[in-house]
Amino acid sequence: MTTETQNTGRESLNFLEEIVEADLASGKYETILTRFPPEPNGYLHIGHAKSICLNFGLAQKYGGKTNLRFDDTNPSTEETEFVDSILSDVRWLGFEPDNIFYASDYFEQLYEWAKLLISKGKAYVDFSSPAEVAASKGTPTTPGVPGKYRETSVEENLELFEKMKAGEYPDGHCTLRAKIDLASPNMHMRDPYLYRIKHAHHHRTGDKWCIYPMYDWAHGQSDSIENITHSICTLEFIPHRELYDWCIEQLGIFPSKQYEMARFNLSYTVMSKRKLKQLVDEKYVSGWDDPRMPTIAAFRRRGYTPESIRAFATRIGVAKRENLIELSLLEFSIREDLNRHALRRFAVLDPLKVIITNLPEGQIEWMETENNPEQPETGNRKIAFTRELWIEQDDFMENPPPKYFRLSPGGMVRLKSGFIIRCDEVMKDEQGNITALHCTYVPESRSGQDTSGLKVKGVIHWLSATDAVEAEVRLYDRLFKVEDPAAEENFKATIHEESLLIKKNALIEPALANAEPGEKFQFTRLGYFCVDPDSNSDKRVFNRTVTLKDTWAKEQKK
RNA sequence: UGGGUCAUGGUGUAAUCGGUAACACAGCAGAUUUUGGUUCUGUUAUUCAGGGUUCGAGUCCUUGUGACCCAACCA
């Protein structure tokens, strides 16, 4: 979505689009190439979704291409399982990579380039311990001092590096470091690590390598090998850019350029992989795809559509400042989509029996109701109006407050697409609990053919007791009680204990009984719901994606 | 305290040789409505602070202030 400035009528661009347009206009590039570079060590979340939409979206807009590249340089944390889930998430979002690559495809080349760097006297093998290296790097305010391996000869370094690669040293015995500037104000330029020794099995290269390149030695060169023109990452990589450029410059290879944008934060959720993992490991949620998680898998299971997430990604924009996006924007995006596309169905979460005393048992009045008023072409369906009905407990109050226009003793409501009923008597058990309502219906008030002349303010949904089907409905709410849980001393202490409410004895209309997992509906007046994979042949399970906007709930809080 | 990045309504993003702050969400009020939904209308509210240049500054200069990032054999 683009915005037009009022004065000029020109399209408003984000800063990355401006850069791309300038590069295209100047002839620097004829076409652009972007990439999405996830590390296959976990599930993708909504933050990644933004990055995916941005990288693929930029390429689409300017006629370029986008690679998916797995940044698999650390064999001890990466797994094939994640490669598969990441690819399916990208595709689910609606994007097809032009190429699928792996940083590990370039291990051989990277190794050759490392030797080239050593030959130029720009890298050396260092046997210092991590503590020694840290100490010799100095601090941001004091320059570092050369370690004792910094002046090893090129020939010897070449030999030592060969031994590293040959597996002659144990893990952590030594590293390859770039020889740059120990006094640089940029800590990343103080002889950064290029290679470490890890005798670990790699998900793709197996046991071929025991030395693995660090991010800084792998990423820029991988971009360069693929001729990536615009390499977009997040703000924390700004200090790495100098090193990114340095490596490419030393090697004299295609100069990919790195651009940084702010990552986005979502209110009432946490986004860091570490925190999300804690939630899963410590069983605060049922798994990575628990519908309360911000992972793409979770949003999918909850009932979000790819379209809604793409629209959201566009709406939050791209910039370089810190931000905290309101959850309401995400909710707006999914409601907008589902309002248009989800079929309407009746469901009662907390049933209350209604007996229509002036309708004989066995009599069925067939009614018609629309499948989606936003799309009349979806037609109508028939629903049965019978003596025994179910309505929502919330839709009846014995002592209603002002402005309550649902059912109350002596009062009337319209049953949507049915008849107007009046509540004559409230039935209770010995404890005083309401067990049923005795009502009478107004035969002349038949929906669409109302000649009763009655005007009722309230309209409620309902189900016939003769054909209602049992279902489980899971009501999800925000996982945290505070806007910015990550800012808390202990984010887990702010978990919302009622973020999941399960209605095990909800009732649904027959038209819903055979809905397939993934199918989405609006439960009239309640919200949008999606069939969960936990459903089985005798019971459907629904997840609430999001409620409808509820101005009555808001009114009550006043 | 060395270096870097960023400051525009409640939130996010625009304002493209300096031309008089806009769009979306949220909020509020009303209309329509057989979903207290949708739709429609109206409305509240914004340039971090001080100084300077200029007819005119969110934009340029200057001095501050604040937030965030950087010293992993992680990415």
User: What's phi and psi for A168, nearest 5 deg?
Assistant: -80, -10
How far lies A11's CA from each of A2, A3, A29, A30, A133, in Å?
7, 6, 22, 21, 51
pLDDT at residue A291, as a whole number: 98
Strand A123-126 to A175-178 pairing: antiparallel
The Å distance, CA of A511 to C1' of B15, is 51
Q: Closest nucleotide to residue A415 (Cα to C1')? A: B34
Terminal Cα distance for chain A, rounded = 36
Q: Closest nucleotide to residue A173 (Cα to C1')? A: B73
* Nucleotides of chain B touched by protein CB (<7 A): 1-8, 10-16, 20, 22-28, 34-39, 67-75
Q: How far apart are CA A350 and CA A372, in angstroms?
A: 24
Domain ranges of chain A: 15-261, 273-343+473-556, 347-461
Say whether A485 sits in a helix, a strand or coil: helix
- Answer yes or no: are the C-beta atoms of A180 and A190 closer than 8 Å: yes
pLDDT at residue A10, as a whole number: 62
Q: How far apart are CA A402 and CA A199, in angstroms?
A: 73
- The residue with tokens 């309407």 is A344
Q: How far apart are CA A85 and CA A94, in angstroms?
A: 14
The Å distance, CA of A154 to C1' of B39, is 75
Looking at CATH, the fold of the domain delimited by A273-343+473-556 is given as Glutamyl-tRNA Synthetase; domain 2 (1.10.1160)
Strand partners, A521: A343, A529
User: What's phi and psi for A289, nearest 5 deg?
Assistant: -105, 15
Strand partners, A126: A175
The Å distance, CA of A479 to C1' of B66, is 31
Q: Closest nucleotide to residue A554 (Cα to C1')? A: B36
The number of residues in chain A equals 558
The encoded tokens of residue A489 equal 């001393």
The Å distance, CA of A123 to C1' of B28, is 65
Catalytic site residue from A198, A204, A273, A277? A273
Looking at CATH, the fold of the domain delimited by A15-261 is given as Rossmann fold (3.40.50)
The encoded tokens of residue A308 equal 């809604």
> Does the annotation mark A273 as catalytic?
yes
Q: Closest nucleotide to residue A265 (Cα to C1')? A: B12
Q: How far apart are CA A168 and CA A55, in angstroms?
A: 42
Q: Which residue is nearest to nucleotide B19 (CA to C1')?
A: A7
> Does the annotation mark A260 as catalytic?
no
pLDDT at residue A78, as a whole number: 80
Matching fold, domains A273-343+473-556 and A347-461? no
Q: How far apart are CA A57 and CA A48, in angstroms?
A: 13
Q: How many CA atoms lie within 13 A of A22 on its CB side?
A: 8
Catalytic site residue from A39, A425, A470, A519? A39
The Å distance, CA of A289 to C1' of B24, is 30
Q: How far apart are CA A317 and CA A356, in angstroms?
A: 54
User: What's phi and psi for A367, nearest 5 deg?
Assistant: -115, 165
Q: What does the buried/exposed string (b/e) look like for A287-316 if buried means 16 or more CB atoms within 10 Å of the residue's CB?
A: ebbbbbbbbbbbbbbbbbbbbbbbbbbbeb
3-state helix, strand, coil in chain A (%, to 5): 30, 25, 40
Q: How far apart are CA A346 and CA A555, in angstroms?
A: 24
Contacts of A533 (CB under 8 A, 6+ apart): A301, A517, A518
The encoded tokens of residue A372 equal 């989606």
CA A537 to chain centre: 29
ipTM of the complex: 0.97
- Answer yes or no: are the C-beta atoms of A474 and A532 closer than 8 Å: yes
Strand A434-441 to A351-356 pairing: parallel
Say whether A435 sits in a helix, a strand or coil: strand
Our CA angle for A232, A233, A234, nearest 5°, is: 140
CA A17 to chain centre: 24
What does the radius of gyration of chain A's CA atoms come to, in whole angstroms? 31
- Answer yes or no: are the C-beta atoms of A293 and A499 closer than 8 Å: no
Q: Closest nucleotide to residue A195 (Cα to C1')? A: B73
- For A30, other C-beta atoms within 10 Å of its C-beta total 10
- For A154, other C-beta atoms within 10 Å of its C-beta total 14
Q: Which CATH superfamily is domain A347-461 in?
A: Ribosomal Protein L25; Chain P (2.40.240.10)
Q: Which residue is nearest to nucleotide B27 (CA to C1')?
A: A554
> Does the annotation mark A263 as catalytic?
yes
> Which DSSP string do the residues of A154-197 spell out, in sequence order?
HHHHHHHHHHHHHT-S-TTS-EEEE---TT-SSGGGSS-EEEEE
Amino acid identity, residue A462?
W
Stretches in chain A below the pLDDT threshold 70: 1-10
The Å distance, CA of A558 to C1' of B9, is 24
Q: How far apart are CA A323 and CA A263, in angstroms?
A: 8
